């Protein structure tokens, strides 16, 4: 949701954005995961984002990355799980309200210009 929120904040009004997620089904909480992905899909549609998802069943998915239609591949060694734990139920905590106030885990991001 943080990624979708960022996209909504910077997209041009009226612009159509598509986000497609390929992930692996959680072996213990697969139904909860499906429900969450569907909620993200519904909420995203309300703000002009076409969010789709699928489970990779090949057993080969490992690398976490984002591919843009602008010719970039963004390789994420930790995926999008970069924030340290914070109290999500503390409505008075700035870390709960402002992403920039959250502490981050160590991670690397590599930007790769793709051949056209």
Local structure of residue 68 (DSSP, 8 states)? -
Are residues 6 and 46 both part of a single domain?
A: yes
- What pLDDT does 38 receive? 97
- What pLDDT does 89 receive? 83
Are residues 90 and 105 both part of a single domain?
A: yes
Q: How far is CA 97 from CA 3, 93, 94, 100, in A?
A: 15, 7, 5, 9
Are residues 54 and 69 both part of a single domain?
A: no
- What pLDDT does 19 receive? 95
Number of domains in the chain: 2
| The model's pTM | 0.77
Cα angle for residues 18, 20, 23 (degrees, 5° grid): 165
Q: Residue 19 belongs to a domain with what CATH number?
A: 3.30.870.30
Count of Cβ atoms closer than 10 Å to residue 65 Cβ: 13
- What pLDDT does 87 receive? 79
Provide the domain limits for residue 24.
1-61
Under-70 pLDDT residues of the chain: 116
- What pLDDT does 78 receive? 79
Are residues 73 and 18 both part of a single domain?
A: no
Are residues 54 and 25 both part of a single domain?
A: yes
- What pLDDT does 12 receive? 92
Are residues 86 and 44 both part of a single domain?
A: no
């Amino acid at each position: 949701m943080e990624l979708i929120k960022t996209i909504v904040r910077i997209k041009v009004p009226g612009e159509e954005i598509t986000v497609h997620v390929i992930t692996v089904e959680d072996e213990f909480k697969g139904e909860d995961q499906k429900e969450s992905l569907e909620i993200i899909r519904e909420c995203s549609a309300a703000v002009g984002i076409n969010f789709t998802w699928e489970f990779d069943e090949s057993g080969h998915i490992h690398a976490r990355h984002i591919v843009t239609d602008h010719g970039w591949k963004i390789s994420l060694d930790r995926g999008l799980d970069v924030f340290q734990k914070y109290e999500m139920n503390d409505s008075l905590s700035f870390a709960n309200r402002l992403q920039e106030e959250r502490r981050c885990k160590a991670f690397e991001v590599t930007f790769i210009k793709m051949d056209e």
